[in-house]
């Protein structure tokens, strides 16, 4: 990074410690504060430059040298563009130690960033919580600071709070004293040396579970009163994760306590503040007896992800925001390892494949980006919080781990952390540590993967007694450019699996004609595979003997080939028809994802034919699974039942399935004991047969549902009600304050992707754009509009493009560019495939009756 970057603070003055006092007024939503920053002045300065935004300075502000001289700050100039404050000193400060004292005021905002407010209502009334979300650069809205990850410091925090409320922060509560006027002064233990984006604190009417000591670390869940019954799962995951990571990293947990806090309003999923990890409620609180396995896994992964960050990210931190991807990708991969160790029976890498497929789809666009890129302004990093960072980044680390071997990989991680304790790093530092431990060309391989967008298509061709693997760039736009990657790939020939590095010029392996060849064995490489001729037929015919992830990849690669125009949708359906006996829910889900697209492309009689095809395909498997959970069933067996109910109800439109779903949904809503995955699947199916009465009940369940998961399921199910006028009413609910801002993307996004009424939602978004965009953070806004990717007629596309031409997103705009290009892919898919699909599913067509 060039030193001339105007967004980087000068290093003439460096902080080592902050003593911060804050007092928020929860009625006027204003706060006042004072901070004493211990500094090292490296060279004589006339002004001190630090970050501040939306803060007013004063009344007092001065610099005190270690000799006790006080130098007044005579002027403050705030630059809103770089979000900096320039403090002019009355005279030059000489090099040496000093303390900067600044008093300031600011707003407790309602935009889910910096120091913000969250509310909840109970029997007593409405309550306000003042809480924080600092990443990436919002600490500067809570107090003046050197708000770059490289300026690590120790933080000593004191909060002045009303009697009767509780306060939490990174450090444990060290003291609490009356402060007069019905207030208390709560002081917290010092933090470890850390970056400003990791500061967190919270004041409100909140409860905490009794601390459970885990490996010497007291762990609690903080929640709004009345939700303590939903905390046990989180504590179990935390206990496992703490033990797992302490062992994996070979370093003790770096803070002294751990609180996991569930907040009613939270923009992201969760945030890795050391000692005080914050979550949205749905990402932490759960009743395992009514949740689906997928919901539990998502929560478990989120908790493990944040705990993984306590070392990787918090203890050792990226120097600047370009390193954000590695921070996030690594925590994503670590969470998979931790959950896989905790619940091997959940087969977490199979579920992860579904997330990875999203990344594949974005990465096949011509507008994809490299995983890492140069970040100049901190705002540039907003584009980095997407599937290419988390899912593609996490996948490349998984691929690397499989190539190096789990233990050598772990040893490299240990070395990297030990070498940089409490420090800051560049991405290459990790590759260097891994290369040193393993002797492999880690830097060369990973540089190609993180600095080039896209991914390879591995073509497998028989040449006599050998098989040649060559690579090209996979893309929806047809043949890609000349980009190539040194690609770690596991290849199985017969019974023997070999780990290879497929270089740009390709590689040849020995394989006689009767040996089965599986490229991407185990499914851990971030590649698409194309088998030529007989090689494909052999893999397809051997599907039952493949590992579940290999079957997943076979179908997922096939659907990607459909999007790329290399395979017909009809041929995809013929392949899908062979999977009626499939036992794994993720394999069904990827198959149904492709079929869901086919459903969008069909109307009238051919659509009836398609529905009958789906019923023939999924019906016997659901019949075999039955509607009632059985003795000895695994969590995944129950999950599969839910997947099949959705297939039969939503795509097959099977009348008996819909009837049973209506009964199950009503029983579940009435509080009867319906198995979680069945209740979750029955809801959207029942919604398709619902009306005004269900609309009212679903809206009420968003507030009254027993768990955050149930609330979320109901808010999403609103989009499945069949009447356009009910969708209008649903959409109107998003502006009257009933639905929390954090939930709008799920609600409006769900309406946008509705097959039949998406245009109703799009009309609403256009009409209310100003209201929506002023309400939401840049990420929530882009999640909300991403649903336009499914509009697949040219008329819709022209309309969407024209709208965003005049309404560009200020931040996270790259994700919108991806969504718009995906829409182009959808339009091309319709133009290419709709007619052929209709012919194949019409009476007498080649797919009629094939599912049976």
Active site residues: 306
Using alpha carbons, list the distances in angstroms from residue 103 to 76, 179, 334, 463, 605.
12, 19, 41, 76, 72
Min. distance of Cβ 254 from Zn ion in angstroms? 16
Q: Rounded distance, CA 731 to CA 441, Å?
A: 53
**DSSP, res 546:** S
Q: What is the DSSP letter of 405?
A: -
> Angle between the 548-563 and 585-601 helix axes, to the nearest 10 degrees?
20
Q: How many CA atoms lie within 13 A of 341 on its CB side?
A: 17
Name 67's Cβ contacts closer than 8 Å, sequence gap at least 6: none
CB of 269 to Zn ion, least distance (A): 8
Q: How far is CA 379 from the centre of its chain?
A: 19
Looking at 206-214, 322-330, 661-669, 822-830, which segment touches Zn ion (CB under 5 A)? 322-330
Stretch of 127-135, 325-333, 680-688, 768-776 contacting Zn ion, by CB under 5 A: 325-333
DSSP 94: P
201 touches 191 (CB < 8 A): no
For 60-172, where are the alpha helices, taking DSSP H only?
none
Shortest CB 305 distance to Zn ion, Å: 5
Query: d(Cα 101, Cα 481) in Å, to the nearest integer?
Result: 56
Counting every residue, how long is the chain?
A: 852
Of 4-12, 88-96, 99-107, 326-334: span binding Zn ion (CB under 5 A): 326-334
Q: In whole angstroms, how close is the CB of 417 to Zn ion at the nearest point? A: 16
Residue 452 is encoded by which pair of tokens?
């080039």
Q: Which is nearer to Zn ion, 328 or 363 (CB)?
A: 328
Closer Cβ to Zn ion, 273 or 657, answer by number: 273
CB-nearer residue toward Zn ion: 325 or 695? 325
Of 46-54, 292-300, 321-329, 642-650, the window that binds Zn ion (rule: CB under 5 A) is 321-329
Cβ neighbours of residue 551 closer than 8 Å, sequence gap 6 or more: 543, 579, 582, 584, 587
Comparing CA positions, the residue from 297, 299, 245, 290 lying closest to residue 269 is: 299
CB 298 → Zn ion: shortest distance, Å?
14
CA–CA separation, 392 and 444 (whole Å): 18
Site for Zn ion in 780-809 (CB under 5 A): none
Whose Cβ is closer to Zn ion: residue 328's or residue 550's?
328
The least CB distance from residue 109 to Zn ion, in Å, is 23
Beta strands of 561-619 (E only): which ranges?
none
Range 52-71, binding Zn ion (CB under 5 A):
none
Candidate segments 255-263, 273-281, 323-331, 636-644, binder of Zn ion by CB under 5 A: 323-331
Q: Which two tokens stand for residue 463?
A: 């040449």
Q: Return the number of the residue (158 or 389) whose C-beta is nearest Zn ion.
A: 389
- Minimum CB separation of residue 652 from Zn ion in Å reads 38
Instruction: Please say which residue, 135 or 520, places its beta carbon nearer to Zn ion.
Output: 135
Residue/partner pairs of 515-519 with CB below 8 Å, 24 or more apart: 516/492, 516/542, 517/460, 517/467, 517/491, 517/492, 517/493, 518/491, 518/492, 518/546, 518/550, 519/458, 519/460, 519/469, 519/489, 519/491
Q: Give 331 or 430: the residue with its C-beta nearer to Zn ion.
A: 331
The string of DSSP letters for 489-536 reads EEEEETTEEEEEEE-TT-EEEE--TTS-EEETGGG-SS-EEEE-THHH
Peptide bond into 489 cis (omega under 30): no
Residue 268 interacting with Zn ion (CB under 5 A): no
Read off the tokens for 633: 């069933």
- Contact present, 284 and 299 (Cβ < 8 Å): yes
- Tell me whether residue 262 or residue 645 sits nearer to Zn ion (CB atom): 262
> Cβ of residue 405: shortest distance to Zn ion, in angstroms?
25
How, if at all, do strands 466-473 and 507-510 pair?
antiparallel
Stretch that binds Zn ion, among 117-125, 188-196, 324-332, 335-343 (CB under 5 A): 324-332
| Identity of the residue, 555 or 815, whose beta carbon is nearer to Zn ion in the bound complex | 815
Under rule CB under 5 A, residue 328 binds Zn ion? yes
Give the residue at shortest CB distance from Zn ion: 331
Interatomic CA distance for residues 758 and 791, integer angstroms: 8
* Tally of CB atoms within 10 A around 493: 18
Q: Which of residues 331-360 bind Zn ion (CB under 5 A)?
A: 331
d(CA 211, CA 813): 43
CB of 303 to Zn ion, least distance (A): 11
Q: How far is the CB of 395 from Zn ion (least distance, A)?
A: 16
Tokens of 663: 């009964």
- CB atoms inside a 10 Å sphere around CB 161: 21
Minimum CB distance to Zn ion smaller for 331 or for 458: 331
Residue 391 interacts with Zn ion (CB under 5 A): yes or no: no
Q: Pick between residue 328 and residue 694 the one whose CB is nearest to Zn ion.
A: 328
CA atoms within 13 A on the CB side of 721: 26
Q: Which stretch binds Zn ion (CB under 5 A): 38-46, 158-166, 328-336, 536-544?
A: 328-336
Instruction: Please check whether residue 276 is in contact with residue 170, taking contact to mean a CB–CB distance below 8 angstroms.
Output: yes
Q: How many residues bind Zn ion (CB under 5 A)?
A: 2
Q: How many CB atoms lie within 10 A of CB 728?
A: 15
Instruction: Give the range of 292-300, 320-328, 543-551, 617-625 binding Zn ion by CB under 5 A.
Output: 320-328
Q: Could you tell me the smallest distance in angstroms from the CB atom of residue 265 to Zn ion?
A: 19
Q: Where along the sequence are the contacts to Zn ion (CB under 5 A)?
A: 328, 331
């Amino acid at each position: 990074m060039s030193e001339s970057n105007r967004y980087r603070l000068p290093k003439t003055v460096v902080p080592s410690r902050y003593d911060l006092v804050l007092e928020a007024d929860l009625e006027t939503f204003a706060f006042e504060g004072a901070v004493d920053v211990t500094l090292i002045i490296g060279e004589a300065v006339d002004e001190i430059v630090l970050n501040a935004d939306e803060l007013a300075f004063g009344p007092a502000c001065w610099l005190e040298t270690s000799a006790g001289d006080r130098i007044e700050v005579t002027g403050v100039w705030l630059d809103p563009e770089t979000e900096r404050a320039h403090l002019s000193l009355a005279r030059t400060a000489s090099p040496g130690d000093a303390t900067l004292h600044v008093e300031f005021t600011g707003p407790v905002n309602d935009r889910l960033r910096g120091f913000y407010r969250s509310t909840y209502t109970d029997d007593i009334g409405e309550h306000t919580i003042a809480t924080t979300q600092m990443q990436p650069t919002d600490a500067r809205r809570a107090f003046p600071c050197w708000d770059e990850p490289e300026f690590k410091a120790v933080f000593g925090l004191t909060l002045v709070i009303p009697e009767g409320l509780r306060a939490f922060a990174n450090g444990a509560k060290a003291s609490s004293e009356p402060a007069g006027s019905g207030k208390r002064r709560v002081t917290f233990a010092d933090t470890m040396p850390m970056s400003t984006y990791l500061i967190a604190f919270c004041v409100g009417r909140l409860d905490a579970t009794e601390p459970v000591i885990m490996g010497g670390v007291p762990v609690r869940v903080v929640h709004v009163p009345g939700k303590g019954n939903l905390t046990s799962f989180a504590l179990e995951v935390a206990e496992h994760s703490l033990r797992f990571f302490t062992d994996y990293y070979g370093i003790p947990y770096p803070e002294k306590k751990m609180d996991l806090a569930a907040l009613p309003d939270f923009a992201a999923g969760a945030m890795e503040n050391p000692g005080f990890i914050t979550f949205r409620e749905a990402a932490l609180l759960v009743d395992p007896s009514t949740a689906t396995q997928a919901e539990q896994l998502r929560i478990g992964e989120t908790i493990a992800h944040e705990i993984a960050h306590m070392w990787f990210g918090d203890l050792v931190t990226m120097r600047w925001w370009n390193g954000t991807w590695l921070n996030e990708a690594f925590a994503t991969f670590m969470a998979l390892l931790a959950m896989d160790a905790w619940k091997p029976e959940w087969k977490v890498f199979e579920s992860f494949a579904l997330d990875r497929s999203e990344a594949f789809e974005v990465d096949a666009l011509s507008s994809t980006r490299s995983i890492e890129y140069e970040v100049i302004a901190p705002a540039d990093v907003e584009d980095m919080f997407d599937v290419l960072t988390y899912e593609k980044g996490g996948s490349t680390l998984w691929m690397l781990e499989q190539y190096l071997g789990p233990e050598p990989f772990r040893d490299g991680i240990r070395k990297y952390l030990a070498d940089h304790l409490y420090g800051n790093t560049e991405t290459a530092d990790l590759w260097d540590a891994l290369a040193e431990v393993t002797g492999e060309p880690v830097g060369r391989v990973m540089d190609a993967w993180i600095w080039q967008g896209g991914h390879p298509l591995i073509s497998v061709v028989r040449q006599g007694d050998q098989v040649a693997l060559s690579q090209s760039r996979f893309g929806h736009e047809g043949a890609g450019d000349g980009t190539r990657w040194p690609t770690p790939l596991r290849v199985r020939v017969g019974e023997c699996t070999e780990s290879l590095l497929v270089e740009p010029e390709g590689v040849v392996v020995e394989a006689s004609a009767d040996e089965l060849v599986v490229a991407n064995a185990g499914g851990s490489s971030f590649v698409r595979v194309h088998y030529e001729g007989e090689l494909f037929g052999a893999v397809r015919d051997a599907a039952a003997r493949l590992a579940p992830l290999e079957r997943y990849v076979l179908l997922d690669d096939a659907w990607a080939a459909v999007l790329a125009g290399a395979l017909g949708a009809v041929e995809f359906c013929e392949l899908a028809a062979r999977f009626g006996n499939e036992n794994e829910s993720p394999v069904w889900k990827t198959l149904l994802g492709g079929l869901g697209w086919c459903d969008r492309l069909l109307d009238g009689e051919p659509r009836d034919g398609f529905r009958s095809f789906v019923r023939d395909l999924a019906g016997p498997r659901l019949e075999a699974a039955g509607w009632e959970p059985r003795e000895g069933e695994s969590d995944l067996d129950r999950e599969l039942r839910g997947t099949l109910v959705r297939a039969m109800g939503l795509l097959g439109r099977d009348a008996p399935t819909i009837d049973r779903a209506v009964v199950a949904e009503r029983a579940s809503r009435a509080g009867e004991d319906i198995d979680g995955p069945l209740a979750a699947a029955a809801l959207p199916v029942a919604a398709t047969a619902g009306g005004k009465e269900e609309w009212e009940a679903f809206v009420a369940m968003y507030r009254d549902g027993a768990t955050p998961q149930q609330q979320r399921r109901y808010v999403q199910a609103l989009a499945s009600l069949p009447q356009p006028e009910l969708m209008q009413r649903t959409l109107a609910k998003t502006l009257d304050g009933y639905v929390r801002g954090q939930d709008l993307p799920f609600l409006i996004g769900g309406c946008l992707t509705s097959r039949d009424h998406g245009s109703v939602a799009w009309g609403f978004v256009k009409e209310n754009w100003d209201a929506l965009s002023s309400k939401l953070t840049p990420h929530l806004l882009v999640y909300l509009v991403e649903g336009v990717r499914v509009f697949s007629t040219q008329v819709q596309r022209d309309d969407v493009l024209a709208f965003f031409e005049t309404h560009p997103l200020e931040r996270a705009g790259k994700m919108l560019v991806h969504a718009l290009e995906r829409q182009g892919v959808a339009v091309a898919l319709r133009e290419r495939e709709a007619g052929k699909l209709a012919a194949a599913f019409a009476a007498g067509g080649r797919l009629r009756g094939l599912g049976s």
